Amino acid sequence: MRPNNLCCPHIMPRAMPYMSLPHSFTSLVLFCLLAGCAIKEGPDSVQTTDSLFDPEPSAVADKEPSASLTKSPQRLTKSPQRPPSAPIKSPQLPIKSPQRLNEPAAAHKEPSASHKEPSAQDSNMVQTNLWQRMRDGFRLSHETDRKRVMDELKWYVNHPEYVERVTKRAAPHLHYIIEELEKRGLPLEFALLPIVESAYDPFAYSHSRAAGLWQFIPGTARVYGLKIDWWYDGRRDVRASTKAAIDYLEYLHNMLGEDWLLALAAYNAGQGNVLSSIRASKLPEDEVNFWSLKVFRETYTYVPRLLAISELINHPDRYHMTLPDVANKPYWEVVETMGQLDLNKAAELADVSSKEIYLLNAGFNQWATHPDGPHELIIPVGKADVFRERVLELPPTERLAWQRHKVSYGESLGTIANKYRTTVDTIRSANNIRGNLIRAGESLMIPAASPDADYAMSQSSRLATKQQTLETRYGSEPIVYIVKFGDSFWEIAHKFDVGMRELAKWNGMGTTGLLHPGTELKIFKKTNNTNNTNNTNNTQTIAQSVGQRANQVRKLNYRVRKGESLSLIASKFNISVQSIKSWNDALNVKKYIHPGDRLTLYVDVTRLIN
């Protein structure tokens, strides 16, 4: 479980000890003169074992969000004492510059020696190149003499396709994040922190319930003003979450002696755990730094990972890395919508795909913007003017699709809201209803998703994607059952020998909701042979998925904690015990789970708002 509930989950490659350079700068200079080489910042020829940075599940998962976002068990790891004059041994990296010695690593708070006053040529480059603008704002020493940093750096160098993928994914938001960091005076290395946190995937979700680019958990998110409800999750909103992350980092920086590396450690492990590590170290205040503390195994590699990707961005040529071109100008701007707006209609007005609208405005859970506002959308700069003009001319009746519903005997606002995938407050507002009283026979206007539109990441599409995933996991097509008058979840679950709670969740419903005659339910069961499939040909169907994507479903590699049960884990991630068993065949032959066991989970991140 996440320490202090105030950190962001990660997965790490195996923690490695480090060795040191000579602590005496004079000795280093003499050694350099004898060796006929110059002093420089950055890695040199190094040695390592073949297994170092092998893409084991924990290492690859953190760096590729479509893989499992796993967290290793919380274990304290202490940096070994560094020999006073032992030369560093680090992984072999391809470096274009001549082989030189590294600088001492004492002053991790000082700016890197490679930072200098920009020349006129540099200034021209900054005007057009966002990477150069970022480099000019780097203020952390990247500690490339430390083995932990070099281990992480070697992983990035050996996976150029990953670096290209995440930097391209970051491109639309980098300009905004860099500007916000500059306004607040933070090191621009933090613009790369979402690479470590989420691989710049706004739909990234971890087993600790952290979500978004900056991986906020619900508790911390609410402390820093991020709203989370049925319509919207501020953790996935790039503007709101970036502001909250900067606020949090500034707070940690001020609390921890204005040490940015300690602030980073606390962002990951929780401020309480870092303070405990400081107290346990019993070091004088002026000797406390990240490298001297016992920290959780995850945090042991978290800070080096940010320093490593920062070093790579700072010197891509040195490591034979090519970065994608990113212009030093905004990719998007914020446009007022003057009220709630269907996201598919917004895409139509802006002449972009609904996919792009959802990716730029990932905070929206549903098919429309939040009815309570703020009424604004992020639109690509080149489309903003035409969108602004068209939304002003849009008639109020075309902002949303509407459906007329005739109230039946026994219906309530809650059951109607569930049926149309909306909220009671939305129905009240649309029909000027005060309270909860409605009468059979009256008609209600329900704002709902347009029946002809493709909402690639709306709730209904997410449900279909989830059902597709279940179909793959169970290895068979779902049974389709049409609800009859008098049916209940319990009776249907009993008839098909499945759990009642599982049945409801498979269909995006709650067990306390009412079932209406004619409702289609999908039931997932494993089949052992083809005969079972042949016997149910008339009742099975494939979940429709035209135009739908699986971006919101994340695979988690979860490690069981002490005191946890399958029921507790299922409740934590809003999934069913039966689903967990279906994804993990080993559970079918063992009676109990134990701390340290690993479970594969498939989670729809946009349905978890608690």
Copy the structure tokens of residue 555.
């695979």
Kindly state whether residues 385 and 439 are assigned to the same domain.
yes
pLDDT tens digit sequence for 419-447: 887 888 888 888 888 888 898 999 998 88
Q: What is the pLDDT of residue 596?
A: 86
Kindly state whether residues 554 and 440 are assigned to the same domain.
no
Amino acid at 442: E
Asked whether 354 and 456 are in contact (CB, 8 A), the reply is yes
> Of 50 and 127, which is predicted with more confidence?
127
Q: Is the pLDDT of residue 13 over 50?
A: no
Q: Which range among 492-506, 513-527, 544-558 has the greatest average pLDDT?
A: 492-506
Kindly state whether residues 273 and 351 are assigned to the same domain.
no
Residue 326 lies inside a defined structural domain of this protein: no
Kindly state whether residues 196 and 164 are assigned to the same domain.
yes
Q: What is the CATH number of the domain that holds 365?
A: 3.10.350.10
Asked whether 446 and 405 are in contact (CB, 8 A), the reply is yes
Residue 327 lies inside a defined structural domain of this protein: no
Kindly state whether residues 279 and 420 are assigned to the same domain.
no
Could you give the maximum distance between any two Cα atoms of the chain, in Å? Answer: 96
- Considering only 95-109, 182-196, 296-310, 414-428, which range has the smallest mean pLDDT? 95-109
Kindly state whether residues 482 and 352 are assigned to the same domain.
no
Residue 454 lies inside a defined structural domain of this protein: no
Q: What is the CATH number of the domain that holds 226?
A: 1.10.530.10
Kindly state whether residues 385 and 520 are assigned to the same domain.
no
Asked whether 346 and 220 are in contact (CB, 8 A), the reply is no
Q: What is the pLDDT of residue 10?
A: 39
Q: What is the pLDDT of residue 490?
A: 86
Q: What is the pLDDT of residue 85?
A: 33
- Considering only 25-29, 385-389, 481-485, which range has the smallest mean pLDDT? 25-29
Mean pLDDT (the chain) is 77
- Considering only 116-130, 314-328, 573-587, which range has the smallest mean pLDDT? 116-130
- Tell me how far apart the alpha carbons of residues 305 and 149 are, in angstroms, rounded to a whole number: 6
Kindly state whether residues 300 and 388 are assigned to the same domain.
no
Which whole number is the average pLDDT over 47-57? Answer: 30
262-272 in b/e burial notation, b at 16+ Cβ within 10 A? bbbbbbbbbbe
Which whole number is the average pLDDT over 569-576? Answer: 82
Beta-strand pair 479-482/443-448:
unpaired
Q: Is the pLDDT of residue 480 over 50?
A: yes
Number of helices and strands in the chain (H, E): 23, 10
Q: Is the pLDDT of residue 121 over 70?
A: no
Which whole number is the average pLDDT over 67-72? Answer: 33
Residue 600 lies inside a defined structural domain of this protein: yes
The crossing angle, in degrees rounded to 10, of helices 381-393 and 343-350 is: 110
Q: Does residue 197 have an active-site annotation?
A: yes
Q: Is the pLDDT of residue 386 over 80?
A: yes
CA 224 to chain centre: 17
Kindly state whether residues 19 and 148 are assigned to the same domain.
yes
Residue 188, SS3 per DSSP: helix
Alpha helices in 407-526 (DSSP H): 413-419, 424-431, 459-474, 489-496, 500-506
Q: What is the pLDDT of residue 125?
A: 56
Residue 324 lies inside a defined structural domain of this protein: no
Cα of first residue to Cα of last residue in the chain, in angstroms, is 16
As a whole-number percent, the residues of the chain with pLDDT over 90 amount to 43
Q: Of 290, 319, 348, which residue sits at a domain end?
A: 319
Kindly state whether residues 262 and 357 are assigned to the same domain.
no
Amino acid at 196: V
User: Which candidate in 143, 152, 189, 197 is catalytic?
Assistant: 197
Q: What is the pLDDT of residue 461?
A: 62
Q: Is the pLDDT of residue 20 over 70?
A: no
Amino acid at 384: A
Query: Residue 325 to residues 164, 170, 181, 596: CA-CA distances in angstroms?
Result: 11, 12, 21, 43
What does the DSSP assignment read for 116-130? ----HHHHHHHHHBH
Q: Of 293, 319, 345, which residue sits at a domain end?
A: 319
Instruction: For residue 343, name the pLDDT band (cuts at 50, 70, 90).
Output: very high
Q: Of 422, 448, 474, which residue sits at a domain end?
A: 448
Kindly state whether residues 493 and 556 are assigned to the same domain.
yes
SS3 per-residue string spanning 189-236: HHHHHHHHHHCCCCCCECCCCCECCCCECHHHHHHCCCCECCCEEHHH
- Structural domain including 435 reads 332-448
Residue 11 lies inside a defined structural domain of this protein: yes
Kindly state whether residues 82 and 229 are assigned to the same domain.
yes
> Of 512 and 524, which is predicted with more confidence?
524
Which whole number is the average pLDDT over 26-34? Answer: 37
Residue 274 lies inside a defined structural domain of this protein: yes
Q: Give the count of domains, the chain.
A: 3
Q: Is the pLDDT of residue 91 over 70?
A: no
Residue 348 lies inside a defined structural domain of this protein: yes
pLDDT tens digit sequence for 283-334: 999 999 999 999 999 999 999 999 999 999 999 999 999 999 999 999 999 9
Q: Is the pLDDT of residue 76 over 80?
A: no
